[in-house]
Structure 1
Amino acid sequence: MYPKLDVEIRPGVGLGQFELGMSLWTVLDMLRNDPHSFPQVDVKYDPDSPISPVILHLRPHLDLLFSGKHQRLHTICLKKLQDPHPPVTLRYKNMILSSPKDILRRVGVSRAFGPTYAGDDLRYPGVWFSFEEDGRADTLRPSSPQHEEKTQEVKRVIVSQKNASEDADDVLSEVRVCDAMHGDIESAIVKAHDGVTLKFYPSSMPSVNVRIGITTAQDLTCDLGPPIRVHYREDNRMNIHSKSKEEDPDIDTGYFYNYFQHGIDFLIGGTTHVVKKIIIHSNMPGTPLFQRYKRCPWAIQGRPEDDEDDTPPRKWFYDRFEDIRHFLSPGETPPTMRLDRTDEEDGLTLPNSSTELLGFDGVVLEVAESAHVVAVMLF
């Protein structure tokens, strides 16, 4: 027994439960919690370029395209409207456009949305209707009589943001700021030996400064809300590499505040309850931590050239590791460790399971085989 798919078009905003601007992490988390409605989800991406667009195929009816850098829902495509597995009902306001009993045709679109510019497809601000199954129009098709053209069956419905510029239709463009982003992190500016400054959507929201050795667990709760999970530290294997011969009194009692929805972890001292380390995640597809954390758009900030420099240099999460390495330590090769996060998962294989940990002054970078940074740790 297939579940029914009953969705409403909101031009320029979304389709059904999906809103343009939602993060990839949010959508996948929503799908994981509703396997009955969407039992088969395929994730497609370019393994050689983890910052390329990501496509979710919700078979057989939905394709969701996410932008490459910020992993925001860019375009929604509804197809195979008459496929009964599952049956689809498409609505607009109080009107049923398509259902198992109602085939959506060109004339039906015109009645619901009114006139629009001439073309092979019917395009309106924020939504367009295609009469081709795969999106490739037949340029050699002879012109049809007017009465036959009216009865053309709609094969695909595409929802995107309302165009405000000439490149708005570019699938590689980023999603403009919209309501679905409100409360999410716009940028996380990282400063070695200091901490991170979090800026949020919309820009009118106050920024949050988290400083190592100063910010407390209570400060985090007040500024960011309670964490999704509190994880008490049990894995101390890295202590074997510590240069200190004395035991850290917080080693066995420290705990993590996990903000999966922001892509950040904070290690808090067990006795001081002050932030000791900050871990920021890039949510790179194909890596073991993919989808555990939302992509946090971080940038490592360097020192300004002088006291009057208000635009200090930065390297962003989408920059390749070699550029970031040279930025942090020009001319020097940092110490490197090999990490395979699938070692403790029997039977789990991933194309990018092995990463390298590279240490810099106050910063550790975890780098994937694709030469992109999957996580930044400040201490």
Structure 2
Amino acid sequence: MTSRNSTPVVISPGKGLGFITLGASLHNVLTRVKSSPQSYPAIDLSYSPTDPLRTPVLLQLPSNGLRLRFDGPDQRLRLIEVLDFSRVSLVYKNQDVLKGGKADELGTSPQGPSFRHVYNRLFGPSYPGEYVPPADNSPYGTYVLSYPGVAFSFPLQHSAWSDQCDFVALLSSSAALPATSMSIFQGSSWPEVRAKLFTQQPLHPRSSAILGKSRDSVADEVEEFHILGAGKLEVVRRTSPPLLLNLGETTPQDLIAEFGPPDAIYRKHDRRISIHRVAGAGGGDAVHLSPSPSRGMDIPDTDHSSSNSVTDDSDDEISPSSIGDPTSLPAECFFNYFHHGFDAFISYPVTPGPAFPNSEISDASPPPSSSQLTATKIILHGNVPGSYPFNRHRRTRWVIHLDQSDDGLTSESPYDEISEQLREVWKGAYSSQAEERAMQRPMVLNRGWGDSPESSVEFLGDWEETTAKGPRSGTDDHDGGLGNTELFGFPGLLFEVMKNGAVSCLTIY
């Protein structure tokens, strides 16, 4: 998609443009684009640094004349726009959208297809579109001509516009210029879709790799995780029934049967965080992130080994083929599901975190002694734009159900809101206000040092030095490029939080 001389790209109204499919995840599209730097030499990503999870994300490919709009919460492609017809060869049902257009020596782009070409040769008759008057003193407004799943924008002289005019005659006259852009969307027309563009349910999957394949040949895609407490998670999937994961019981073979083989497996050696499990200097009490040591929570490993390559001896890559023989797996390793948006920590069974106090779920019983490996932690990745591990996993959405009556805390909730509700839920577990304050001090996690960001975990300062002071700045500041985030813990849950309050990662154990 780099020039008019490249292989033509097929327009599929309501579906996509070439391999770029409506409903595809930002991770899927960006990974494909980045894998072909010769075809896509320039990539621009735009997002809100203060609210990256609730505002649209824009992926622009200026060398290809394309702009892609993704919704913020789910990061799925909602709108494909062609802004420069000279930089991509487009065809529809074997007809060229624009014949022979090339940018001149000064880089000035030619105009797009004429109304006559669109109307007579490409898409045929259409209902009247809508006219958008000029927003400034420009002599031209914009006439948007819609077909099911595709629309064209034509500059139209404002002085020539009238509600009483025949739009076909008007757009065929000299008052109208050739199209300046084309949009591909899901819906019957642009006016009908516009208001629900970022909220309607996408028809197509997040990964173009599973388009047209049977349910038996590929694993169903994950829609959302429901966190129920006591180590129980319900996985909502696109077409299959919901799946219940029980930490300490679900085996590696169960994960493979439901989600397919992991994209990578890593053995875990590093225990640099374990210093915070022992007594502090001077014989002080052990540092815990839980409201009470009796609740059975300790600081979990935060090194999720989700890097695509291994450059540190704390992580060893294991061939995914070894999962066919359970005895070949090490006692502790990570199953990395980059395209599902989560990791699973595999080890011998341990008692998971407690149930939420007001829920109807009981605390899990201590597991019996067993040599059977199980999933003991699930790590859900937010893929927040601006975060250090951005685009390593696709975004996973989640809901924490504190009791049966609430709507739950979601992956889009600001952490201050999450913290306020969790503090209230666990209020009775603290022995004093001093203990409550002590347990809620954050740790600063730096993923910016070292060659392998996930295996080079550094903690900056001690608990007192990293205490949050006042509201977060609301900026995309990364402390001089270190990629620092803060860790906050509640029983069974560990949140990795960015400076703008977005939850970058949630560990359930």
Classify the TM-score, shorter chain. 0.7 to 0.9
The one-character-per-residue Cα deviations of 1:127-158 (angstroms, maximum 9, x if unpaired) are 111124xxxx7645678976534973122111
Quote the offset at 1:163 in angstroms. Answer: 4.1
Q: CA deviation at 1:89?
A: 1.9
Residue type at the aligned position of 1:99: K
Match of 2:332 in 1: 254
Counterpart CA distance in 2 for 1:147 and 1:163 is 24
AA at the equivalent of 2:341: G
* Matching of residue 266 in structure 1 with residue 344 in structure 2: yes
Backbone CA RMSD of aligned residues: 3.0
Instruction: Give the direction of change, closer, same or farther, for the CA distance of 1:243–1:362 in structure 2 (3 Å limit).
Output: farther
Q: Quick check: 1:286–1:351 contact (8 Å CA) kept in 2?
A: no
Indicate conservation of the 8 Å contact 2:69/2:80, yes or no.
Answer: yes
- Select the residue among 432, 436, 448 that pairs with 1:342: 448
Pair 1:154-2:179 in alignment: yes
Take 2:500 and 2:158, find their aligned partners in 1: how far apart are those partners?
40
Residues 153-206 of structure 1 deviation map (CA, whole Å, 9 limit, x = unaligned): 12211101114897621376224231324732221101333132111113xx12
Which of 273, 276, 279 is the matching residue for 2:376? 276
The amino acid across from 1:217 in the alignment is P
Number of residue-to-residue matches in the alignment: 357
Find 1:218's aligned residue among 253, 261, 265: 253
The 3 A distance-change label for structure 1 pair 155 and 360 is same
Larger strand proportion of the pair = 1
Cα deviations by residue, 1:329-376 (Å, 9 ceiling, x for unpaired): 2265424211121122599xx834211101101111111101111111
2-structure distance, mates of 1:165, 1:79:
17
Give distance in 1, aligned partners of 2:48 and 2:157: 29
Which amino acid is 1:131 matched to? F
Structure with larger Rg: 2
Q: Distance in 2 between matches of 1:184 and 1:287?
A: 24
The 8 Å contact of residues 69 and 174 in structure 1, kept in 2 or not, is answered as: no
Conserved in 2, the CA contact under 8 Å of 1:266 and 1:279?
yes
Task: Note if contact 1:365-1:377 (Cα within 8 Å) is conserved in structure 2.
Answer: yes
1:258 offset after TM fit, Å?
A: 0.3
Distance verdict in 2 for CA 1:145–1:177, change over 3 Å: closer
3-state SS in 1 of match to 2:419: helix
2:365 matches 1:328:
no
Please name the residue that 1:80 is paired with.
84
Q: State the match for 1:197 in structure 2.
A: 234
Which moves more between the two structures, 172-181 or 359-368? Answer: 172-181
Match of residue 309 from structure 2: none
After TM superposition, list the pairs within 5 Å mapping 1:74-113 onto structure 2: 74-82=78-86, 86=87, 88-100=88-100, 104-111=113-120, 112-113=122-123
**Structure-2-length-normalised TM-score:** 0.64
Amino acid at match of 2:117: G
Q: In the alignment, which of 98, 104, 115 is matched to residue 125 of structure 2?
A: 115
Segments of structure 2 that go 5 or more residues without pairing to the other structure are 103-111, 131-142, 163-168, 211-219, 280-285, 287-300, 302-313, 315-329, 349-370, 428-435, 454-475
- TM-score (ref. length: structure 1): 0.85
Give distance in 2, aligned partners of 1:67 and 1:92: 27
Amino acid at match of 2:40: F
More displaced, 112-121 or 34-43?
A: 112-121
Counting only pairs closer than 5 Å after superposition, residues 1-379 of structure 1 correspond to structure 2 as 4=6, 6-51=8-53, 52-60=55-63, 61-82=65-86, 86=87, 88-100=88-100, 104-111=113-120, 112-116=122-126, 117-119=128-130, 120-132=143-155, 139=158, 147-149=172-174, 152-163=177-188, 168-170=193-195, 173-181=198-206, 183-202=220-239, 205-243=240-278, 253-269=331-347, 272-304=372-404, 311-330=405-424, 332-333=436-437, 334-344=440-450, 351-352=477-478, 353-379=483-509
Deviations 1:60-95 (A, max 9, x none): 31000001111110000012213xxx4x32111122
CA distance in structure 2 between the aligned counterparts of 1:375 and 1:65, rounded to whole angstroms? 24
Shift of 1:115: 2.0
Q: Which amino acid aligns with 1:254?
A: E
Structure-1 separation of matches of 2:7 and 2:200: 26
Q: Give the aligned residue type for 1:340.
A: N
Structure 1 residue 265: deviation in Å? 0.6
> Percent identity of the aligned residues?
29
- Deviation string, structure 1 residues 95-128 (Cα, Å, up to 9, x no partner): 2221325962100111122222144121112111
Structure with more helix by fraction: 2
Q: Deviations over 1:262-298 (max 9, x none)?
A: 1111110166421111110111000001101111011
| Residue identity opposite 2:85 in structure 1 | L
Task: Say whether the 8 Å CA contact 1:98–1:104 is kept in structure 2.
Answer: yes
User: Contact (CA 8 Å) 2:160, 2:175: kept in 1 or not?
Assistant: no
> 1:16, CA displacement in angstroms?
1.4
Is the CA contact (8 Å cut-off) linking 1:185 and 1:297 kept in structure 2?
no
